[in-house]
Amino acid sequence: MTAVIRTAPHAPAAESESGAIAGAAGDGVLPGFEAPVFDAAHSFRALMEAMARPGTIQRPVAPQAVPPGLPESAAAALLTLVDYETPVWIDPALAEGATTPTPLDPAAVAAYLAFHTGATTAASPEDAAFALTAADGLAALLPRLPVGDPAYPDRSATAIALSAGLGRGREVTLTGPGIDGSRRFAFAELDDRFRAAAADNAALFPLGVDMILAGPEGVAALPRTTRMEA
Protein backbone atom coordinates (compact mmCIF):
# COMPACT_ATOMS: atom_id res chain seq x y z
CA MET A 1 0.00 0.00 0.00
CA THR A 2 1.36 3.37 -0.97
CA ALA A 3 0.59 6.82 0.31
CA VAL A 4 -2.31 8.65 -1.28
CA ILE A 5 -2.72 12.41 -1.49
CA ARG A 6 -6.36 13.07 -0.82
CA THR A 7 -7.22 15.33 -3.74
CA ALA A 8 -6.57 15.65 -7.46
CA PRO A 9 -5.51 18.33 -9.94
CA HIS A 10 -8.15 20.85 -10.74
CA ALA A 11 -8.66 23.96 -12.79
CA PRO A 12 -9.66 26.84 -10.50
CA ALA A 13 -13.12 28.06 -11.43
CA ALA A 14 -11.99 31.69 -11.50
CA GLU A 15 -9.46 31.03 -14.24
CA SER A 16 -9.72 30.04 -17.89
CA GLU A 17 -7.46 27.54 -19.66
CA SER A 18 -5.52 30.42 -21.15
CA GLY A 19 -4.71 31.68 -17.64
CA ALA A 20 -6.99 34.72 -17.68
CA ILE A 21 -8.39 35.47 -14.24
CA ALA A 22 -12.02 36.48 -14.36
CA GLY A 23 -12.62 39.80 -12.66
CA ALA A 24 -9.06 40.10 -11.37
CA ALA A 25 -8.13 43.24 -13.27
CA GLY A 26 -7.35 46.00 -10.86
CA ASP A 27 -8.22 44.05 -7.73
CA GLY A 28 -4.63 43.32 -6.71
CA VAL A 29 -4.95 39.52 -6.81
CA LEU A 30 -1.73 37.81 -7.85
CA PRO A 31 -2.06 35.49 -10.86
CA GLY A 32 -1.60 31.74 -10.37
CA PHE A 33 -0.76 29.25 -13.08
CA GLU A 34 -0.49 30.71 -16.58
CA ALA A 35 -2.43 27.76 -18.06
CA PRO A 36 -4.28 26.35 -15.04
CA VAL A 37 -5.52 23.09 -16.58
CA PHE A 38 -2.21 22.08 -18.11
CA ASP A 39 0.07 23.50 -15.43
CA ALA A 40 -1.92 21.85 -12.63
CA ALA A 41 -1.84 18.54 -14.49
CA HIS A 42 1.93 18.78 -15.03
CA SER A 43 2.47 19.75 -11.40
CA PHE A 44 0.24 16.92 -10.20
CA ARG A 45 2.36 14.44 -12.17
CA ALA A 46 5.50 15.91 -10.58
CA LEU A 47 4.00 15.62 -7.10
CA MET A 48 2.83 12.05 -7.71
CA GLU A 49 6.30 11.18 -8.98
CA ALA A 50 7.75 12.65 -5.80
CA MET A 51 5.37 10.54 -3.70
CA ALA A 52 6.06 7.41 -5.74
CA ARG A 53 9.83 7.90 -5.53
CA PRO A 54 10.50 9.25 -2.02
CA GLY A 55 13.59 11.38 -1.64
CA THR A 56 13.83 12.39 -5.30
CA ILE A 57 13.55 16.04 -6.30
CA GLN A 58 10.83 16.92 -8.80
CA ARG A 59 9.94 20.27 -10.37
CA PRO A 60 6.29 21.36 -10.61
CA VAL A 61 5.33 24.26 -12.86
CA ALA A 62 6.07 27.64 -11.29
CA PRO A 63 3.06 29.98 -10.95
CA GLN A 64 3.21 33.38 -12.63
CA ALA A 65 3.42 35.10 -9.23
CA VAL A 66 3.44 34.10 -5.58
CA PRO A 67 2.87 35.97 -2.31
CA PRO A 68 6.11 37.28 -0.79
CA GLY A 69 7.98 34.60 1.14
CA LEU A 70 6.14 31.65 -0.43
CA PRO A 71 8.51 29.56 -2.59
CA GLU A 72 7.30 28.81 -6.10
CA SER A 73 7.53 25.06 -5.47
CA ALA A 74 5.26 25.30 -2.41
CA ALA A 75 2.82 27.58 -4.24
CA ALA A 76 2.64 25.10 -7.13
CA ALA A 77 1.92 22.23 -4.74
CA LEU A 78 -0.82 24.18 -3.00
CA LEU A 79 -2.45 25.43 -6.21
CA THR A 80 -2.48 21.86 -7.50
CA LEU A 81 -3.65 19.95 -4.45
CA VAL A 82 -5.97 22.09 -2.34
CA ASP A 83 -9.57 23.00 -3.05
CA TYR A 84 -12.74 24.10 -1.28
CA GLU A 85 -12.99 20.76 0.53
CA THR A 86 -9.47 20.83 2.00
CA PRO A 87 -8.89 23.38 4.77
CA VAL A 88 -5.31 24.66 4.94
CA TRP A 89 -3.54 25.55 8.17
CA ILE A 90 -0.81 28.17 7.65
CA ASP A 91 1.77 28.22 10.43
CA PRO A 92 1.84 31.72 11.97
CA ALA A 93 5.55 31.21 12.69
CA LEU A 94 6.22 31.58 8.95
CA ALA A 95 5.65 35.31 9.39
CA GLU A 96 8.96 35.43 11.26
CA GLY A 97 10.86 34.63 8.05
CA ALA A 98 13.14 31.99 9.54
CA THR A 99 13.08 29.76 6.43
CA THR A 100 12.66 32.18 3.55
CA PRO A 101 14.57 35.42 2.83
CA THR A 102 11.27 37.33 2.96
CA PRO A 103 8.82 36.85 5.84
CA LEU A 104 5.60 35.20 4.69
CA ASP A 105 2.27 36.90 5.32
CA PRO A 106 -0.19 34.12 6.26
CA ALA A 107 -3.17 36.32 5.40
CA ALA A 108 -1.80 37.01 1.91
CA VAL A 109 -1.23 33.29 1.31
CA ALA A 110 -4.73 32.49 2.56
CA ALA A 111 -6.24 35.09 0.20
CA TYR A 112 -4.16 33.76 -2.73
CA LEU A 113 -5.35 30.21 -2.13
CA ALA A 114 -8.95 31.24 -1.53
CA PHE A 115 -9.08 33.11 -4.85
CA HIS A 116 -7.40 30.47 -6.98
CA THR A 117 -8.65 27.27 -5.33
CA GLY A 118 -11.54 28.11 -3.03
CA ALA A 119 -9.63 26.67 -0.07
CA THR A 120 -10.55 27.83 3.40
CA THR A 121 -8.18 28.38 6.33
CA ALA A 122 -8.14 25.79 9.10
CA ALA A 123 -8.38 27.19 12.61
CA SER A 124 -5.82 24.73 13.95
CA PRO A 125 -3.53 21.91 12.75
CA GLU A 126 -6.03 19.40 14.12
CA ASP A 127 -8.63 20.69 11.62
CA ALA A 128 -6.35 20.76 8.58
CA ALA A 129 -6.33 18.69 5.42
CA PHE A 130 -3.10 20.45 4.44
CA ALA A 131 -0.61 22.29 6.62
CA LEU A 132 1.96 24.82 5.45
CA THR A 133 4.92 25.16 7.79
CA ALA A 134 8.69 25.49 7.92
CA ALA A 135 10.72 22.29 7.67
CA ASP A 136 12.33 22.99 11.03
CA GLY A 137 8.84 23.04 12.57
CA LEU A 138 7.75 19.64 11.26
CA ALA A 139 8.86 17.65 14.30
CA ALA A 140 6.59 19.66 16.59
CA LEU A 141 3.71 19.81 14.10
CA LEU A 142 3.38 16.15 13.06
CA PRO A 143 1.74 14.92 16.28
CA ARG A 144 -0.97 17.57 15.93
CA LEU A 145 -2.08 16.76 12.39
CA PRO A 146 -4.90 14.32 11.52
CA VAL A 147 -3.57 10.84 10.77
CA GLY A 148 -6.80 9.35 9.38
CA ASP A 149 -8.62 6.40 10.90
CA PRO A 150 -8.46 2.65 10.20
CA ALA A 151 -11.51 2.74 7.93
CA TYR A 152 -10.33 5.85 6.04
CA PRO A 153 -6.55 6.28 6.22
CA ASP A 154 -6.76 8.83 3.41
CA ARG A 155 -8.49 11.27 5.75
CA SER A 156 -5.08 12.24 7.06
CA ALA A 157 -3.35 15.56 6.53
CA THR A 158 -0.51 16.36 4.15
CA ALA A 159 2.23 18.65 5.44
CA ILE A 160 3.92 21.00 2.98
CA ALA A 161 7.14 22.18 4.58
CA LEU A 162 9.38 25.01 3.37
CA SER A 163 13.05 24.05 3.26
CA ALA A 164 16.09 26.23 2.66
CA GLY A 165 17.59 23.48 0.52
CA LEU A 166 16.88 19.97 -0.74
CA GLY A 167 19.67 17.51 -1.46
CA ARG A 168 22.12 19.20 0.89
CA GLY A 169 22.85 19.08 4.59
CA ARG A 170 22.73 16.04 6.84
CA GLU A 171 21.98 12.80 4.96
CA VAL A 172 19.80 9.86 5.93
CA THR A 173 19.08 6.53 4.25
CA LEU A 174 15.51 6.03 3.07
CA THR A 175 13.83 2.65 2.56
CA GLY A 176 10.30 1.59 1.70
CA PRO A 177 7.91 1.46 -1.26
CA GLY A 178 9.17 3.28 -4.34
CA ILE A 179 12.81 2.86 -3.34
CA ASP A 180 14.99 0.20 -4.95
CA GLY A 181 16.93 -1.01 -1.92
CA SER A 182 17.78 2.32 -0.31
CA ARG A 183 18.25 5.97 -1.24
CA ARG A 184 20.32 8.71 0.38
CA PHE A 185 18.48 11.94 0.98
CA ALA A 186 19.21 15.24 2.68
CA PHE A 187 17.56 18.57 3.37
CA ALA A 188 18.90 21.58 5.19
CA GLU A 189 16.76 21.28 8.34
CA LEU A 190 17.09 17.53 8.93
CA ASP A 191 18.02 16.82 12.56
CA ASP A 192 17.49 14.19 15.27
CA ARG A 193 14.16 15.70 16.34
CA PHE A 194 12.78 15.33 12.84
CA ARG A 195 14.12 11.78 12.51
CA ALA A 196 12.38 10.79 15.74
CA ALA A 197 9.10 12.43 14.73
CA ALA A 198 9.24 10.83 11.29
CA ALA A 199 9.85 7.41 12.87
CA ASP A 200 6.81 7.87 15.13
CA ASN A 201 4.76 8.90 12.09
CA ALA A 202 5.87 5.86 10.05
CA ALA A 203 5.02 3.55 12.95
CA LEU A 204 1.35 4.61 12.63
CA PHE A 205 1.03 3.08 9.14
CA PRO A 206 -1.48 2.68 7.50
CA LEU A 207 -2.33 5.90 9.34
CA GLY A 208 0.01 8.85 9.38
CA VAL A 209 0.89 12.14 7.71
CA ASP A 210 2.46 12.45 4.26
CA MET A 211 5.12 15.16 3.92
CA ILE A 212 6.11 17.28 0.93
CA LEU A 213 9.30 19.32 1.29
CA ALA A 214 9.39 22.43 -0.90
CA GLY A 215 12.67 24.22 -1.56
CA PRO A 216 14.40 26.30 -4.22
CA GLU A 217 15.26 23.10 -6.10
CA GLY A 218 11.67 21.81 -6.33
CA VAL A 219 9.76 19.33 -4.18
CA ALA A 220 10.59 16.02 -2.52
CA ALA A 221 8.20 13.75 -0.64
CA LEU A 222 8.47 11.65 2.49
CA PRO A 223 5.27 9.59 2.58
CA ARG A 224 4.15 7.76 5.70
CA THR A 225 5.45 4.52 4.15
CA THR A 226 9.08 5.73 4.13
CA ARG A 227 11.55 4.74 6.84
CA MET A 228 14.78 6.60 7.50
CA GLU A 229 18.02 5.64 9.15
CA ALA A 230 21.25 7.56 9.78
Q: What is the pLDDT of residue 96?
A: 82
pLDDT at 28 (0 to 100): 74
Contact 160, 74 (CB under 8 A): yes
| pLDDT at residue number 29 | 83
At 135 the pLDDT is: 94
Given this model, what pLDDT does residue 103 score?
85
Dihedral of the alpha carbons of 53, 59, 63, 68, in degrees to the nearest 10? 90
What's the confidence (pLDDT) of residue 11?
44
The pLDDT of residue 98: 62
Q: Which of 113, 108, 151 is nearest to 129 (CA)?
A: 113
Name all domains of the chain by residue range, CATH numbers in brackets. Answer: 36-229 (3.40.50.11310)
Q: What is the rounded distance in angstroms from the CA atom of residue 135 to the CA atom of residue 128?
A: 17
Gyration radius of the chain over CA positions: 17
What pLDDT is recorded for position 16?
Answer: 37
Helix (H), strand (E) at residue 76: helix 72-81
In angstroms, the CA 74 to CA 137 distance is: 16
In degrees and rounded to multiples of 5, residue 92 shows phi and psi of -60, -25
- Give which of 138, 10, 29, 20 is closest to 83, Cα–Cα: 10
DSSP per residue over 188-224, as a string? TT--HHHHHHHHHHHTTTTS--EEEEEETTEEEEE-T
Low-confidence spans in the chain with pLDDT less than 70: 1-27, 97-101
Task: Summarize pLDDT for 219-229 with one digit per residue, the tens.
Answer: 999 999 999 99
State residue 99's pLDDT score.
Answer: 64
CA 203 to mean position of chain CA atoms: 21
| pTM of this structure | 0.89
- For residue 8, the model assigns a pLDDT of 45
Residue pLDDT, tens place only, 31-63: 999 999 999 999 999 999 999 999 999 999 999
Considering the chain, what is the average pLDDT of its residues?
A: 89
- Reduced to 3 states (helix: H, G, I; strand: E, B; else coil), residue 92 is helix
State which amino acid sits at residue 44.
Answer: F
How far CA 133 is from CA of 3, 41, 91, 93, 139, in Å, comes to 20, 24, 5, 8, 11
Nearest Cα to Cα of residue 214 among 53, 80, 32, 74: 74
